[in-house]
Amino acid sequence: MYSPQPVVTRLAFTASDRPEAQEAMERLAKRYGAVSEEEAQIIVALGGDGFMLETLHRHIEQPKPIYGMNRGSVGFLMNEYSEDALIERINAAERTIIHPLSMVAIDTKRRQHRALAINEVSMLRQTRQTAKLRISIDGKMRMSELVCDGALVATPAGSTAYNLSAHGPIIPIESDALALTPISAFRPRRWRGALLSHTARVTFEVMEADKRPVSAVADNFEVRDVVEVHVSEDRSVSLCMMFDAGRSLAERVLAEQFSA
């Protein structure tokens, strides 16, 4: 049975360090009132896409719906900024649920590092030497040697970010899929990556780690000098972003596939 969302009246505001974001937060809090993030039904994030990711990460242990408004640059994950009818816009907004990636990275001293990534987990060379990676999916080796600047695993939400810049595919937001994309592959030259089930467990092994050091990055969390990295989707974590009616994240991702 359909259960309507409760009417939103209690808002918390958070903003990036940009002056325009800080000024907007002050005006909106004065106009609409503000409660603490613990008391709020919705958190309004003012900034750019990076700040949206930062806000999602900050609430990953106790997720709350986040409605972003662009006071940054690109703003793909943000709504258009307007100070008018904010309560009405939020109550009419569409909700998108996303699941992050879990990264377990093992460094050269065999220490384990764990992190969650909303956009992607990236393997990146640390020096002028190209990286050499071995890739396994669900315990089966699929590529014995990828010589490259790196490789990444992206979620549908992150497929339009670094993944797209690396010529990876845009994935519809409702898809149960992940993108595995090479970054500047040298060998094999023609490999463009793979689309994987969201249940896939991806393992990267770093070959010649002493000579060709590699770092692993889960969004903005970096582990240097890794030798092995395991990536999988974490369905136990559900994050909610809110978008103005008719401008859902699914619509934005679809439109991106037809942009010049």
Query: What residues contact residue 28 under an 8 Å CB cut-off, 6+ apart?
Result: 13, 34, 44, 46, 83, 86
In this structure, are strands 112-117 and 101-107 parallel, antiparallel, or unpaired? antiparallel
Determine the Cα angle at 25 with ends 19 and 30, to 5°: 135
Residue pair 125/224 in contact (Cβ under 8 Å)? The answer is no
Residue found by looking up tokens 């010529």 in the block: 167
Catalytic residue among 17, 49, 138, 244: 49
Q: Does an H or E element contain 254, and which?
A: helix 249-256
106 strand-pairing partners? 112, 228
Spatial CB neighbours of 176, under 8 Å, sequence gap ≥ 6: 197, 198, 199
Radius of gyration of the chain (CA): 20
**3 state SS of 175:** coil
**For this structure, is 149 an active site residue?**
no
Please identify which residue in the block is written with the tokens 């992190």: 115
Enzyme catalytic residues: 49
